């Protein structure tokens, strides 16, 4: 994780501002597991307005609720794209981190357009094939992390970080 921490440091010496983006449920749980990293940096969240997410993020200062469902839903993709540009302009992250799912893509694109680094962490339950979100985000991902050695074969230059859960 030290390699990742160094890779995520802003290039211009500014403090790290992390935008943590993920669907609710297991994707959010995996982002929450990164608390030893994000607790010491300024951070904000984007996820779905579901009971589990509202409860898990109740003590967080900055949370934006994305439109869902996202799979094969063009109107929500457009809503989340507009939200992504607004959030990135307002929060000004230096890094966007996501475990997926589809909500990640507009935030990765907006983040890259505004100079943020992007980090995608492939979920722990997809070992033999990459997720659709992983494949879509890969072209705009600066650091691809995987939780199992077998997943490293799915992505060039992936960093194995071990299971988050």
In a domain, 144, yes or no: yes
pTM listed for this prediction: 0.91
* pLDDT at residue 3 greater than cutoff 60: no
In this predicted model, what pLDDT tens digit does every residue of 65-90 receive, in sequence order?
Answer: 999 988 788 999 999 999 999 999 99
Assess if residue 10 is contained within a domain. no
Q: Is residue 46 part of a domain?
A: no
Percent of the chain with pLDDT over 70: 92
Instruction: Give domain status of residue 131, yes or no.
Output: yes
Give which of 68, 146, 50, 129 is closest to 104, Cα–Cα.
Answer: 68
CA distance 8 to 17: 10
Q: Give the CATH number for residue 127.
A: 3.40.50.2000
């Amino acid at each position: 994780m030290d390699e990742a921490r160094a890779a995520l440091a802003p290039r211009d010496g500014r403090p790290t501002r992390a935008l943590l983006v993920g669907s609710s449920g297991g994707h959010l749980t995996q982002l929450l597991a990164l608390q030893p990293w994000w607790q010491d940096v300024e951070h904000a969240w984007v996820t779905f307005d579901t009971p589990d997410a509202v409860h898990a993020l109740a003590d967080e200062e900055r949370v934006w609720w994305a439109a869902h469902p996202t799979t094969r839903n063009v109107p929500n993709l457009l809503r989340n794209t507009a939200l992504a540009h607004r959030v990135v302009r307002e929060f000004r992250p230096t890094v966007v981190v996501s475990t997926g799912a589809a909500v990640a893509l507009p935030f990765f694109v907006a983040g890259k357009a505004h100079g943020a680094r992007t980090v995608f962490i492939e979920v722990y339950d997809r070992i033999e094939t990459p997720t659709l979100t992983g494949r879509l985000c890969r072209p705009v991902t600066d650091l691809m992390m995987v939780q199992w050695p077998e997943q490293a074969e799915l992505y060039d230059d992936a960093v194995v970080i071990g299971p988050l859960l």
